[in-house]
Structure 1
Amino acid sequence: MDISPLQKVRYAYQPKLPAILRKDITSIEAVYGEPTGAATDADAVKALFPHTYGMSRVSFTEGDNKAVTAQRNVGVILSGGQAPGGHNVISGLFDALKAANPENTLYGFKGGPSGILQDSYQIITDEFLAPYRNTGGFDIIGSGRTKLETQEQFEVCAQVCKKHNISALVIIGGDDSNTNAAVLAEYFLEKQHGIQVIGCPKTIDGDLKNESIEISFGFDTATKTYSELIGNIERDANSAKKYWHFIKLMGRSASHIALECALQTQPNVCLVSEEVEANKQSLVSIVEYIAKTVSDRALDGNNFGVVLIPEGLVEFIPEIKALIDEINHLLAKEEVAFNALTDSAQRVAFVGSRLSKSSQTVFSILPDEIQKQLLMDRDPHGNVQVSRIETDKLLSTMVETRLKQMKAEGSYTGKFSAMTHFFGYEGRCAFPTNFDADYCYSLGYNAFCLIGSGLSGYLSSVTNLCAPAEQWNAGGIPITMMMNMEVRHGSKKPVIKKALVELEGKPFAYFAEHRAQWARKTCFTYPGAVQYFGPAEVCDRTTVTLALEQSK
């Protein structure tokens, strides 16, 4: 198979490790800190995880761990959506496993968690792994969204592991996947199956984080990829001087991606869902804010600009959230009658006539296409598929309507022409940045060190990430310390709490301090393409978010 010159060079790249993980693996020893506890709902979480609650944080230091050389078979699963660097987590895991004992075997379960349930696997060898090192994607073994959440599934996992003499599983995933890893670890300990479970923090959305998980892998690459595209559009906008670009970015539950891209590119407008919710902003007020920005720039002769919109914005606008909840409930109740209608106009009329008065008002101001999108096929839980709602088109259309009103009133004299974009899949499987290549490799190598220390129910943790890689700290945290109780499917369940944008945090504070200037003036910055070769300050830098968070 022909490969590109860059691909060939990236295969040969040797990721950097923290200094402690560069040592002989038999001299990497676990040091235990203070016991941990859940941040909220501690009693409920403790009751559900009696074997794994309250475990200590772990760090690695130089010492003696001859037990790491015992022969082991390890399984690995990629779970959930793709994120750049997943292949390097597996590469780091494989290299540590072989450094400990060349007879060790790594089983890659295919297609996500369903692979272990179906006993579908690939033995990962050095030859098999070579074409995937330092590359994007999850195509080495595939991924999936099957949840491991029932005791029957757990027991199938145990029996498949025992069949292959697998004594440890590494689950590479986001908050839901690592919640499942914690539950699986608890089950294996309760049943004395002797199978360890270690998680690795993955999600480009950036909402799996705390003081010990400074960033989830893939976020760095995805935001740099999106920021390059946004910068290109900004340059084009500043050249043509005739379009307003509305850009929707991935990030349903949190606005970390949109905020990071704004910090990198300095657009005229960036909406942050968490702020919209905190201020109880209405859809009309958001449209008014954007329209005023357009009008103010027009006064300076600038009939162009860029607006960034987080994917999940509509769920944070109070009246839209209420509308979506009402539609979900209505369609669950009237499913048969609704599905009998085949014409979209009839469906819109059917729903509109059955909504409460307040929701009817909101529904009626939405553009026709958005009304139809709210009524599209539901997700497996019967809910609106928010990611399919074209929020970029919703806002651009409503802003255009508002500007026409302002022009009729004599308060706006500019020209407005909108272009819409959605950047999502472009960033999920991009070639990892040097940072993600190094970080992911370290997470995988570190995961095996946790296994070699006899631990289970832990999340691989690498910190001090703004420093050069050799100064990174390696260790692990109990997954239970990240848990809280949330209502899922009508009952309270333990889940890893999503980390939202902190409105009191340094990244948002910096953005809030500068956005008025960015709104009126053309302050665009152009990050350019991801760089792999050259000065460390260009090639190995991490995100602006992390740099601000760790600034003194």
Structure 2
Amino acid sequence: MTISPLQKARYQYEPKLPGMLRSGVDKIAVKEGEPTQSVADQETIKSLFPNTYGKNEITFVEGESTASPDKQVVGVILSGGQAPGGHNVICGLYDALKAASPENVLIGFKNGPSGLIDDDFVVFDDEFIDKYRNTGGFDIIGSGRTKLETEEQFKVAADVAKKHGMNAIVIIGGDDSNTNAAVLAEYMAAHDTGVQVIGAPKTIDGDLKNDDIEASFGFDTATKTYAELIGNIERDANSAKKYWHFIKVMGRSASHVALEAALQTQPNICLISEEVAAKKMSLSEIADYIADSVEKRAANGDNFGVAIIPEGVVEFVPEFSALIAEINELLAGAKADEFNALPTWKEKYEFIKNGLTKESFEVFDILPENIQQQLFLERDPHGNVQVSLIESEKLFSALVANKLKERKEKGTYKGKFSPLHHFFGYEGRCAFPSNFDADYCYSLGYNAALLIQNGFTGYLSKISNLSKPAAEWVAGGMPITKMMNIERRHGEDKPVIRKALVELDGKPFQFFADNRDNWAVETAYLYPGAIQYYGPEEVCDLTTKTLKLEQE
């Protein structure tokens, strides 16, 4: 197999571990912390997780090991969307198991949770693992979005584990995947299967975090990748001086990615979905906000700029959310067939006009026709609008163009507005992990093995103090139930991990808010450049701006 020089060099990179994990697995002890409770709905969560709720947080320290000397047979699953560093979680898990005993076994289940149910697996060895060290992607075993949530699935999982003599399963995933891990852990404990379940916090969206889980893995690499691209565009914009670039970035429910990219590049505009919701901003108000920047910059002779748009921002606009809800209702059941049978967009438009309330139709009617049509593209499995398919970067540039046209007619705006559009998403999900993510993920995997060897279940692998050098990181575990609350999902109350949204009173957003008025008018761009893997630590091992500000 032909590999690139960087790929070859990354195979040989040795990830840094927290200091207490460097003593050797036989010299690591457990320090018990305080009992925990869920973030909300404590009595309900406790009743649903009687065997795994309320457990203590734990920290690993140097000392006499209490780990089991028994042979460990562990299964591992990659679940959900890709995130840089996933391979290193598996490598760290493998190395820790083999350091404890060469007899220990790591089994990788292919293509996500369905691999466990179908018993589709590979047994890892050194040759297999060494091909994936410090590399991006999830191609080592593949991933999938099958949910483990039914009694039937749990029974099959228990049977597969018994067949292989497995004593533990590690689920590497986001909030939904680790919710499934918590439920699976409870099932395994309730049925006395002897199978432990450990989670690892993955998602580039950055919404799987709290005071204990300081960052989800992949966020560092993905945002640095996007920031490099945005910085390149900013430099091009400042060179050509004739285009406004509207850039949509991944982040369906939270705006952590957009905010971090803005902190790294200082664009003229960055929308934050959580602020849009808090201020109940309308589409027109958002368009005016962007148009103000365009107009002020044009007055300075700068007919160019950069605006960052979070992927899910339209869902946070109250009037747009109401429109989506009405469209979902309008096309429920047989009405969808009636609508789809109409031969022309003109006839479909009249159908929509007659089916919406006056208020929602007014919102619908200001949308560009291509965006109107995107609202009626293929529905999700529940029959709802797939909001992620809406090209919000084109929506806002079109609304801004209309605002500027009105201003030009009034004589208040005399500039030129030429928009270009971009969407950065998949570009960041499988990048070579940054040194931070390579180290963090390897530590998460190594730490997961220690949680298993010390008999814990229903825990999330936890590495903290992340803004410091890796030698000062702290390893331990946190019960997954601590992050859970009850939410309404598909008409039922479900225990789920609460998504962490951007905190408008948090330091990262406050820094952004304190500076954005200047960035909106001035050309204050930063050009972070490509991720660096070799060189000075202050360049190669940088954490995100978000993490640095949060821990100042």
- TM-score category of the 2 structures, normalised to the smaller one: over 0.9
Cα deviation, 1:74-108, whole Å, max 9, x if unaligned, reads: 00000000000000000000000101110111110
- Aligned-pair CA distance for 1:341: 3.2
- Aligned-pair CA distance for 1:345: 4.2
1:126 maps to what in 2? 126
Q: Is the 8 A contact 1:248 1:311 kept in 2?
A: yes
1:500 maps to what in 2? 501
1:511 maps to what in 2? 512
Q: What is the one-letter code of the residue matched to 2:101? A: N
- Aligned-pair CA distance for 1:134: 0.3
* Structure 1 residues not aligned, in runs of 5+: none
Q: Is the 8 A contact 2:246 2:421 kept in 1?
A: yes
2:117 maps to what in 1? 117
Q: TM-score, normalised by structure 1?
A: 0.99
| Distance in 2, Cα, partners of 1:112 & 1:197 | 15
Q: Is the 8 A contact 2:30 2:66 kept in 1?
A: no
Deviates more, 1:307-316 or 1:68-77: 68-77
Q: Is the 8 A contact 2:29 2:66 kept in 1?
A: no
Pair 1:274 & 2:274 matched: yes
| Distance in 2, Cα, partners of 1:467 & 1:372 | 49
| Distance in 1, Cα, partners of 2:276 & 2:538 | 35
| Distance in 2, Cα, partners of 1:14 & 1:62 | 22
| Distance in 1, Cα, partners of 2:36 & 2:89 | 26
| Distance in 1, Cα, partners of 2:71 & 2:345 | 61
Cα deviation, 1:167-206, whole Å, max 9, x if unaligned, reads: 1000000000000000000000101111000000000000
Deviates more, 1:22-31 or 1:162-171: 22-31
1:468 maps to what in 2? 469
Q: Is the 8 A contact 1:26 1:68 kept in 2?
A: no
- Aligned-pair CA distance for 1:326: 1.1
Q: 1:197 aligns to what SS in structure 2? A: strand
- Aligned-pair CA distance for 1:20: 0.8
- Aligned-pair CA distance for 1:66: 5.4
| Distance in 2, Cα, partners of 1:24 & 1:233 | 47
Q: 1:116 aligns to what SS in structure 2? A: helix
Q: What is the one-letter code of the residue matched to 2:356? A: L
Q: Equivalences for 1:35-184 in 2 at 5 Å? A: 35-65=35-65, 67-184=67-184
Pair 1:259 & 2:259 matched: yes
| Distance in 2, Cα, partners of 1:105 & 1:504 | 46
**Would the alpha carbon gap of residues 302 and 198 (structure 1) be closer, same or farther in structure 2, given more than 3 Å must change?**
same
Q: Is the 8 A contact 2:87 2:136 kept in 1?
A: yes
Q: Is the 8 A contact 1:209 1:499 kept in 2?
A: yes
| Distance in 1, Cα, partners of 2:220 & 2:343 | 44
| Distance in 2, Cα, partners of 1:342 & 1:452 | 63
Q: Percent identity between the aligned chains?
A: 65
Deviates more, 1:411-420 or 1:344-353: 344-353
Q: What is the one-letter code of the residue matched to 2:434? A: T
| Distance in 1, Cα, partners of 2:88 & 2:490 | 35
Q: What is the one-letter code of the residue matched to 1:358? A: E
Q: 1:332 aligns to what SS in structure 2? A: coil
1:329 maps to what in 2? 329
Q: What is the one-letter code of the residue matched to 1:139? A: D
| Distance in 2, Cα, partners of 1:161 & 1:102 | 20
Deviates more, 1:423-432 or 1:325-334: 325-334
| Distance in 2, Cα, partners of 1:79 & 1:108 | 12
| Distance in 2, Cα, partners of 1:22 & 1:198 | 21
Q: Is the 8 A contact 1:273 1:310 kept in 2?
A: yes
Deviates more, 1:357-366 or 1:375-384: 375-384
- Aligned-pair CA distance for 1:342: 5.0
2:381 maps to what in 1? 380
Q: 2:331 aligns to what SS in structure 1? A: helix
Pair 1:247 & 2:247 matched: yes
- Aligned-pair CA distance for 1:276: 0.3
Q: Is the 8 A contact 2:92 2:444 kept in 1?
A: yes
Q: 1:530 aligns to what SS in structure 2? A: coil
| Distance in 1, Cα, partners of 2:126 & 2:465 | 30
Deviates more, 1:372-381 or 1:159-168: 372-381
Q: Is the 8 A contact 1:74 1:168 kept in 2?
A: yes
Q: What is the one-letter code of the residue matched to 1:434? A: N
| Distance in 2, Cα, partners of 1:346 & 1:530 | 51
- Aligned-pair CA distance for 1:113: 0.3
Q: Is the 8 A contact 1:178 1:479 kept in 2?
A: yes
Q: Is the 8 A contact 1:348 1:372 kept in 2?
A: no
Q: 1:148 aligns to what SS in structure 2? A: coil
Q: What is the one-letter code of the residue matched to 2:492? A: S
| Distance in 2, Cα, partners of 1:135 & 1:35 | 37
2:187 maps to what in 1? 187
1:12 maps to what in 2? 12
* Structure 2 residues not aligned, in runs of 5+: none
| Distance in 2, Cα, partners of 1:529 & 1:293 | 28
Cα deviation, 1:127-152, whole Å, max 9, x if unaligned, reads: 01111110000000000000000000
**Would the alpha carbon gap of residues 453 and 343 (structure 1) be closer, same or farther in structure 2, given more than 3 Å must change?**
farther
2:534 maps to what in 1? 533
1:479 maps to what in 2? 480
1:209 maps to what in 2? 209
Q: Is the 8 A contact 1:204 1:428 kept in 2?
A: yes
1:237 maps to what in 2? 237
Q: Is the 8 A contact 1:70 1:101 kept in 2?
A: no
- Aligned-pair CA distance for 1:349: 3.1
Q: 2:475 aligns to what SS in structure 1? A: strand
Q: 2:248 aligns to what SS in structure 1? A: strand
